[in-house]
Amino acid sequence: MKIPLLFTAFLVLSSTAFAIPDSFGGFFINPAGARLEDVANRKATWEPNGELKGKWGLWKESDNHDTSLEIQRLEMRAIVFGVEAKQVTVHKRDNRNVRFEIHYPASEQNPGRTTRQVLANIRAWSGADLSPQNPAIAFENLEVSIGRLSDGGLQVFLEPRNS
């Protein structure tokens, strides 16, 4: 009698375990084991053949005229600096990562909200004040800078810091 009862309990518990949503499922943090901003802050990321986990695909912008530059786009969702990014790209030259670009869309309901949230999270992460008046900071192994997208959204650039 104990065996069927244990087996039934196992089936019930295992089936409910599959129903629990994985809050990071499908996001960059799952395969990388770290947040994108922390991966970018590692020196190894910027070394020749620096490995990037996650699903990256070759992507060319129509206005990219630099044939020595390869652009790859992250083909999975990513939360960077605590906010879901619309697009994440990595720029590579000679098998070396040279820059990450993170695009955040403008909030239609509350213009400026996304920008304020991302900048506050960068401040909490780095301890430095990044703003439209101070659009670039150096933090550990990174140069972090911001720009404005044509739709009013925010663009964040992560590049290796020249020590």
162 in helix, strand or coil? coil
- pLDDT tens per residue across all 163 residues of the chain: 555 554 444 444 444 333 323 333 445 555 557 889 999 999 999 999 998 988 899 876 655 567 788 999 999 988 999 999 999 999 999 999 999 999 999 878 887 889 999 999 999 999 999 998 999 999 999 999 999 988 889 999 999 998 5
Rg (CA), the chain: 20
Distance CA 117, CA 109 (A): 14
